[in-house]
């Protein structure tokens, strides 16, 4: 019998080994419409059986609900899992599409205490700054995060959606284990500045939304008409209106590669992200999100697909043809500040 557990990769220089694919848990409480909590819990357990040991959440996902939802699973498997969570963002209750970003030291201290309490653990394995508040020097933010490491509240530090320059400045204050940024067949802007900086500094890349928030699987083709009213993807330009129709046509070459590998389009999208580790010579640990057991099986199986040079030739050209930005306000992500 072959071992169905996935391979491992290192999370930051000197950091722990984790399954080469992590699990994004955001959709279990936030952003992507109604959830079946029992199936989501079963998905967490199945993921662990398959060798997924790195679980990603954030305080803003469901305004603390996601951390609380995950807490029993984390406590039951504390020695087997690497818990990643994030601070920096809040959503005003009366303005659900707005984001308030804070990176100042007093806020960080308050946020970490709240996350530790909700998670019900003594220490967070990987603590990320979720978004950059440009009014606070990054050295000051990372200095406050480093204090949490010294106090034993946090083991490793991460940054999400920083530029290459911001990553270099941060690393002068404290080692950064991971950068979490959007990276997929549709979103390749980080390859210009962030990926080279991460490789040079020994930082692991944690690609989020590697399935293009589900669009690359073909599970929806138009957010306006197919997704529920509060679904976050309805705010993203590339999934709505004429952009969505144009982008759905870009799935055809992915399906052709998938057919040749007897795989799904989603698996090819994931295999492409995994393969960027050898293309760019750095550790890459994507965190596709799912709330369903069948999909965690499908997604982890994609770690075993090896794409040929011809496949990469077909797939590599897709991102340049995508219509619409990945966020409505691009200053919210690194590409808007590079």
Ligand X SMILES: NC(=O)c1ccc[n+]([C@@H]2O[C@H](COP(=O)([O-])OP(=O)(O)OC[C@H]3O[C@@H](n4cnc5c(N)ncnc54)[C@H](OP(=O)(O)O)[C@@H]3O)[C@@H](O)[C@H]2O)c1
Residues 161/181, Cβ–Cβ less than 8 Å? yes
Rg (CA), the chain: 19
Cβ closest to ligand X, residue 112 vs residue 287: 287
Binding mask 106-135 for ligand X (x = CB under 6 A): ------------------------x-----
Residues 219-278 binding ligand X (CB under 6 A) are 219, 266
Nearer to ligand X, 46 or 130 (CB): 130
209 binds ligand X (CB under 6 A): yes
Report d(CA 311, CA 44) in Å as an integer. 32
The Cα–Cα gap between 24 and 289 comes to: 4
Q: How far is the CB of 161 from ligand X (least distance, A)?
A: 6
- Adjacent-strand bridge partners of 270: none
Among candidate residues 32, 55, 61, 128, the one labeled active-site is 61
Taking CB atoms, the residue at the shortest distance from ligand X is: 24
**Cβ at position 173, least distance to ligand X in Å:** 21
Range in contact with ligand X (rule: CB under 6 A) among 147-155, 221-229, 282-290, 320-328: 282-290
What does the alpha-carbon distance between residue 52 and residue 40 come to, in Å, rounded to a whole number?
15
Q: What part of residues 9-38 is at the interface with ligand X (CB under 6 A)?
A: 24-27, 32
2-21: string of b/e by CB count within 10 Å (b at 16+)?
A: eeeebeebbbbeebbebbbb
In the complex, minimum distance from the CB of residue 136 to ligand X, in angstroms, rounded to a whole number: 18
- The residue from 155, 293, 295, 326 that contacts ligand X (CB under 6 A) is 295
Nearer to ligand X, 63 or 219 (CB): 219
Beta strands in 67-219 (DSSP E): 82-87, 89-90, 100-101, 124-129, 154-160, 178-182, 204-208
For residue 94, how many other CB atoms are within 10 A of its CB?
Answer: 6
Terminal Cα distance for the chain, rounded: 48
**Shortest CB 73 distance to ligand X, Å:** 15
164 near ligand X, judged by CB under 6 A: no
Q: Identify whether the C-beta of residue 56 lies closer than 8 Å to the C-beta of residue 124.
A: no
Catalytic, 61? Answer yes
Q: Which of 62, 210, 253, 283 binds ligand X (CB under 6 A)?
A: 210
Phi, psi angle pair for 323, to nearest 5° = -95, 130
- Binder of ligand X out of 171, 180, 204, 276 (CB under 6 A): 180
Q: Which residues are catalytic?
A: 61
Residues of this chain that interact with ligand X (CB under 6 A) are: 24-27, 32, 56, 130, 160-161, 180, 208-214, 217, 219, 266, 287-292, 295, 298-299
């Amino acid at each position: 019998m072959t071992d169905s557990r996935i391979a491992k990769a290192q999370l930051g220089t000197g950091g722990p080994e984790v399954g080469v694919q992590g699990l994004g848990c955001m959709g279990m409480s936030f952003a992507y419409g109604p959830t079946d909590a029992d199936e989501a819990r079963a998905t967490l357990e199945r993921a662990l059986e398959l060798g997924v040991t790195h679980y990603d959440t954030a305080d803003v996902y469901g305004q603390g609900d996601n951390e609380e939802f995950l807490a029993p699973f984390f406590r039951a498997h504390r020695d087997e899992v690497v818990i990643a969570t994030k601070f920096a963002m809040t959503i005003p209750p009366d303005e659900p599409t707005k984001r308030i970003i804070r990176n100042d030291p007093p806020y960080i201290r308050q946020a970490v205490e709240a996350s530790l309490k909700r998670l019900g653990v003594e220490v967070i394995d990987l603590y990320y700054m979720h978004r950059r508040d440009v009014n606070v020097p990054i050295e000051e933010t990372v200095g406050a995060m480093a204090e949490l490491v010294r106090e034993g509240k946090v083991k490793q530090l991460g940054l999400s959606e920083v530029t290459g320059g911001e990553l270099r400045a941060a690393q002068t204050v404290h080692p950064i284990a991971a950068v979490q940024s959007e990276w997929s067949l549709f979103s390749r802007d980080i390859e210009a500045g962030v990926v080279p900086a991460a490789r040079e500094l020994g930082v692991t890349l944690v690609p989020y939304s590697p399935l293009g928030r589900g669009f690359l699987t073909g599970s929806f083709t138009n957010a306006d008409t197919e997704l529920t009213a509060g679904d976050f993807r309805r705010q993203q330009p590339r999934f709505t209106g004429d952009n969505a129709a144009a982008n759905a046509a870009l799935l055809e070459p992915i399906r052709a590669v998938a057919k040749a590998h007897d795989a799904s389009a989603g698996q090819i999208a994931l295999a492409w992200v995994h393969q960027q580790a050898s293309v760019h010579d750095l550790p890459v640990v994507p965190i596709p999100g799912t709330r369903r057991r069948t999909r965690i099986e499908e997604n982890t199986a994609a770690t075993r697909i090896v794409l040929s040079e011809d496949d990469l030739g077909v797939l590599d050209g897709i991102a340049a043809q995508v219509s619409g930005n990945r966020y409505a306000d691009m200053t919210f992500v690194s590409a808007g500040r590079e």
